[in-house]
Amino acid sequence: MASHSGWLPREGFVADPVGRLIKRTILNPALTLPLLLLTKYTHSGQQYAASHQRALRAFHIAVCWGVLRWLNNFLNRRALSNGVSDEYDWSKEVVVATGGSDGIGKEVVKMLAASDIKVAVLDVQPLTYEAPPSVKYFRCDITSSSAIAKAASEIRLEIGEPTVLMNIAGVCTGKTILDSTEAEHKWTFDVNTLSHYLLAKEFLPSMIKNNHGMVMTVASLASYNLVANLVDYAASKAAALAFHEGLTTELVTRYNAPRVRTLLITPGPVNTALIKGWNQPDSFLDYMLDPGTVAEEIVKRVLAGQSGQLILPGFASFLLPMIRAMPYWFSTAARNKSEGVLAQYCGRLVEDPNKKYAKSGGPR
């Protein structure tokens, strides 16, 4: 999928482009500070300020918010990058992307390939698109350490040592706690969480040795606020979020690798086969994301070579991380209001977990 151009996103007229416009104009100190100086140090500016006192006060507030926002972003970037810089030569980097056969992963892989970046796709299902020249597919069950080791050996032989690990693969059964089988619970955690540990054990040591690389984790807004029929998925994604935060800390405090970047992507519902049957009307603030939109934001941040955290849609970055600090009457109502969202769930399962674990003697 080609990069999207135009002011409106693929989802249409929603809150995020309006928010971006506000950030780039009224909350942009590069624009507002010069205008404020004009009101203080030029004759015409002083005249305008004298006759528009109320507008000037509002403008002062906007300038202050803009400066504070800029300072906060600067400090965040510095903290997340551990105060050190690093450079990426994308003609030499090797990306490993799980779940790159379809959905968000497919769009990410295609966008990286458009820049001739070498990508190894790990997935149990074949590619649903024709692989570009810089993309190689390796069938791999990422819940198996031996399968990962075998795929890693082939990647190193055919492409090179991976420097970027993208944990994109995710599964969901859309069942209640009592309707789910033990195998389905285990499968959800194995793919959505435990595979991150297995993949890190395989690919992270080289990144630590060279003090260079990146690990990207795709969590979910369900990490913060879940709905009925999504409990095991939400729990596994909350655990993936904790994995990201813990890895970020250990890279600095245990492995002395401050230049190895970590990136967390936390999207809301995305229009893929995984959540077919999702039943929640779109609104200006809360809407179904296009996989291309999520992929474009992922690729943009990966290519920037910086650590970071991204929540999509943008409005959710203000509300959902704080929901656990909200009064119970608010957070409980928010969860219960979404009780019908997955009532008609019919999302695709890339494999049958009950058969998968029956062959291996069942969940352990």
What's residue 334's pLDDT? 79
Superfamily the domain 94-359 falls into = NAD(P)-binding Rossmann-like Domain (3.40.50.720)
CA distance 149 to 142: 10
pTM of the model: 0.89
Whether residue 1 is predicted with pLDDT greater than 60 in this model: the reply is: no
Q: How confident is the model at residue 344 (pLDDT cuts 50, 70, 90)?
A: confident
Strand partners, 94: 118
CA distance 246 to 46: 53
Q: Are 130 and 201 in contact (CB under 8 A)?
A: no
Q: Which amino acid is at 316?
A: A
Interval 133-152 mean pLDDT: 98
Q: How confident is the model at residue 155 (pLDDT cuts 50, 70, 90)?
A: very high
43-47, 108-112, 195-199, 359-363: which has the minimum mean pLDDT?
359-363
* Closest C-alpha among 128, 114, 221, 111 to residue 166: 111
CA distances from 119 to 140, 181, 242, 261 (A): 15, 35, 26, 18
Considering the candidates 233, 287, 356, 357, report the single residue annotated as catalytic: 233
Considering the candidates 88, 237, 356, 357, report the single residue annotated as catalytic: 237
pLDDT in tens, 42-74: 988 888 888 889 988 998 999 999 999 999 999
Interval 345-363 mean pLDDT: 79
Q: How confident is the model at residue 361 (pLDDT cuts 50, 70, 90)?
A: low
* Cα-to-chain-centroid distance, residue 111: 16
Average pLDDT for the chain: 91
Higher pLDDT, 209 or 224: 209
pLDDT > 90: percent of the chain: 65
What's residue 360's pLDDT? 64
Whether residue 363 is predicted with pLDDT greater than 70 in this model: the reply is: no
* Closest C-alpha among 109, 107, 91, 81 to residue 251: 81
Q: Are 350 and 122 in contact (CB under 8 A)?
A: no
Q: Is the peptide bond before 29 cis (omega within 30 degrees of 0)?
A: no
Higher pLDDT, 329 or 153: 153
Q: How confident is the model at residue 362 (pLDDT cuts 50, 70, 90)?
A: low
CA distance 174 to 345: 6
At a CB cut-off of 8 Å and minimum separation 6, what does 268 contact? 220, 221, 286, 288, 289, 312, 313, 316
Higher pLDDT, 320 or 27: 27
Catalytic site includes residue 237: yes
Domain ranges of the chain: 15-80, 94-359
Higher pLDDT, 140 or 286: 140
Interval 290-303 mean pLDDT: 95
Q: How confident is the model at residue 297 (pLDDT cuts 50, 70, 90)?
A: very high
